[in-house]
Copies of this chain bind each other. A is one copy, B any other.
């Protein structure tokens, strides 16, 4: 029952799984009776149960065990918030249009498709040419507007259906836009990530956590991205559930108190350096990775380890999980270090969880834009001398030139005291250029040497105010669910038609099937009794009382990943025992009904293993499977 993912059979696995997902209503295209809508998917009952189980476990693994502050914020977001975060200006993909028909394409997709076509016949190409094309193919997804423009020109890419010329690539913002209220003046967007709800509530969260750092906030919720042309099935969709953590730390101390609990754990690491060279995975403990500065800090590594534990628990295979470090050109300018947990599926290695040290970027931009205090205060153990800017302001000189604005200019300059870097930069400009252009509320003021003198000084302080840094693990739950299904899907070797989803019990959509051997009136009452007793201990069940043979019934439960099967037969009537079957081993034991619910509860809670059960109860020989 081991994972059989390989390049050879990945097409077959994907086809088999997609057929199963459709037949058994795991996941379906939304509004399919109306022809469907690209990039929108609904979860049917088994998919929805897997998702609910995943969320419950995530909450237990992270929120409960790490004492996080979970919040639940709205999706509809005013424009101002997403302007501050940078999403209104920059959260875009690049499009091109057919100059004649106005059909549109994603610029990187059309470039990739063109290169793939070129690579189909390399007989007349030099080694260098082939290498160049492969390089472009690998990088197209990361190209900016200018790079895309140049590549589309260089390879003379045309509209695929018509051969017409294409427009230059231009950005299309990926946020769904709407209007809040009836005024027509209040633009809003659906959030493209859940994180902004946490950042904008930082002040309240800091207070909730007793004004102590570090603390983490978490959020599970939907996010929306208006993709230009969604493809890759469940991996790139327009509406999806995320689970995000924002762990706020003092930038001077990114150690983690529980680091020793995870430092011995081994991980598959693909560093930025390695991607430049051999692209070889390094197997290394988190402890070593931090020691040799491969991973920037303990807290980032701690969350990577906790993510790995979580993913293994929900059914991701160790060999199907790696952490890939972002390369310098991929990372936002403010990010200190980023590692994506990538999971292997038929689509290749797919980013499912991001781990980013985002420095203080988010809190800083929101503090500036909203003019709110989003900083933290740390009291020193004993008073310290700290570097500050000594600012001497000459109001009379300011007044001479900027009479109406003396007070805001004075306020701005005085407050430079706690921002030494900025203060020295201003002084340097004045010294060098003779003046500095100060922009306040949209107006520019000429500041000259007679108005202010700035120098470095020291001050004795009891504490300091700073923007916390944030370390952000961000989970795409839909991608994880798809990956779990693929990595745990196989067909029994003796029979190609019998697909099995070998899901861990904790994730399985239904925990136990109840299978009456025949439709005899003497057997039926046991179905009710057993079903009720299992519900009382919160074990979900599915009854199959069709006339199918028992082997066929087992096959149908294996297919949706039900780990345990309870069969009621004629012996049940005589001695109140049933058979209990485990999906992966297909082994069965004979167990008294009185012990069934407690045994299944323990099996699902992992406090007892199937091999324990095989030792405790008599093995039952399989008649007909």
Taking a contact as CB atoms under 8 Å apart, the answer to whether B76 and A176 are in contact is: yes
Measured between C-beta atoms, what is the minimum distance from A244 to chain B in Å?
13
Contacts of A172 in B (CB 8 A): 182
> Given A74-B239, A239-B74: A80 and B178 within 8 A (CB)?
no
Interface residue stretch chosen among A196-204, A330-338, A454-462: A196-204
> Given A51-B72, A52-B70: A31 and B208 within 8 A (CB)?
no
Interface residue A421 (Cβ < 8 Å from any Cβ of B): no
Report how far A65 CA is from B51 CA in the complex, Å: 19
* The one of B42, B56, B372 that contacts A33, using a Cβ cutoff of 8 Å: B372
Contacts of A44 in B (CB 8 A): 69, 71, 201, 204-205, 208
Taking a contact as CB atoms under 8 Å apart, the answer to whether A37 and B180 are in contact is: yes
Taking a contact as CB atoms under 8 Å apart, the answer to whether B72 and A200 are in contact is: no
* The one of B200, B208, B227 that contacts A34, using a Cβ cutoff of 8 Å: B200
Taking a contact as CB atoms under 8 Å apart, the answer to whether B182 and A34 are in contact is: no
Interface residue A43 (Cβ < 8 Å from any Cβ of B): yes
Q: Mark A27-43, 1 if CB is under 8 A from B, else 0.
A: 01011111001101111
Taking a contact as CB atoms under 8 Å apart, the answer to whether A33 and B73 are in contact is: no
Report how far A188 CA is from B34 CA in the complex, Å: 13
Q: Mark A232-274, 1 if CB is under 8 A from B, else 0.
A: 0000001100000000000000000000000000000000000
Report how far A205 CA is from B95 CA in the complex, Å: 38
Q: Mark A174-214, 1 if CB is under 8 A from B, else 0.
A: 00111111110000101000000100110111011010000
Taking a contact as CB atoms under 8 Å apart, the answer to whether B42 and A222 are in contact is: no
Taking a contact as CB atoms under 8 Å apart, the answer to whether B25 and A200 are in contact is: no
- Describe A's contact surface by its main secondary structure: mixed
Contacts of A32 in B (CB 8 A): 200
Taking a contact as CB atoms under 8 Å apart, the answer to whether B48 and A181 are in contact is: no
> Given A34-B78, A48-B70, A72-B42: A64 and B535 within 8 A (CB)?
yes
Taking a contact as CB atoms under 8 Å apart, the answer to whether A178 and B177 are in contact is: yes
Contacts of A47 in B (CB 8 A): 72
Report how far A49 CA is from B208 CA in the complex, Å: 14
Q: Mark A13-32, 1 if CB is under 8 A from B, else 0.
A: 00000000000110010111
Measured between C-beta atoms, what is the minimum distance from A48 to chain B in Å?
4
Interface residue A226 (Cβ < 8 Å from any Cβ of B): yes
Contacts of A239 in B (CB 8 A): 74-76
Contacts of A182 in B (CB 8 A): 95, 104, 172, 226, 228
Contacts of A42 in B (CB 8 A): 71-74, 197, 201
Contacts of A64 in B (CB 8 A): 535, 538, 540
* The one of B33, B80, B208, B535 that contacts A374, using a Cβ cutoff of 8 Å: B33
Contacts of A156 in B (CB 8 A): none
Contacts of A65 in B (CB 8 A): 535
> Given A60-B538, A546-B210: A203 and B33 within 8 A (CB)?
yes
Report how far A222 CA is from B74 CA in the complex, Å: 9
Contacts of A49 in B (CB 8 A): 70
Measured as residues with beta carbon below 8 angstroms from the partner, the interface class of chain A is: 35 or more
Report how far A181 CA is from B37 CA in the complex, Å: 10
Report how far A16 CA is from B47 CA in the complex, Å: 43
Report how far A78 CA is from B37 CA in the complex, Å: 8
Taking a contact as CB atoms under 8 Å apart, the answer to whether A25 and B208 are in contact is: yes
Taking a contact as CB atoms under 8 Å apart, the answer to whether B76 and A34 are in contact is: no
* The one of B37, B71, B200 that contacts A31, using a Cβ cutoff of 8 Å: B200
Report how far A60 CA is from B45 CA in the complex, Å: 15
Contacts of A34 in B (CB 8 A): 78, 80-81, 200, 369-370
Report how far A41 CA is from B204 CA in the complex, Å: 14
Contacts of A178 in B (CB 8 A): 176-178, 190, 226
> Given A190-B178, A208-B44: A183 and B104 within 8 A (CB)?
yes
Report how far A209 CA is from B176 CA in the complex, Å: 35
Interface residue A323 (Cβ < 8 Å from any Cβ of B): no
Interface residue A590 (Cβ < 8 Å from any Cβ of B): no
Interface residue A59 (Cβ < 8 Å from any Cβ of B): yes
* The one of B33, B69, B176 that contacts A200, using a Cβ cutoff of 8 Å: B33
Contacts of A180 in B (CB 8 A): 37, 176, 226, 238
Interface centre among A49, A172, A372 (most CB of B within 10 A): A49
Interface residue A364 (Cβ < 8 Å from any Cβ of B): no
Which residue of chain B has the shortest Cβ distance to A70 in the bound complex? B48
The 9 A-B residue pairs with the shortest CB-CB distance, nearest first, are A43-B72, A33-B372, A33-B370, A42-B73, A45-B69, A48-B72, A176-B178, A74-B239, A40-B74
Can you report 27 residue pairs joining A to B where beta carbons are below 8 Å apart?
A: A25-B204, A25-B205, A25-B208, A30-B74, A31-B78, A33-B366, A33-B370, A33-B372, A34-B78, A37-B76, A37-B180, A37-B188, A42-B201, A44-B201, A45-B205, A52-B70, A56-B56, A60-B538, A65-B535, A76-B190, A76-B238, A176-B178, A177-B178, A178-B226, A180-B238, A181-B227, A210-B546
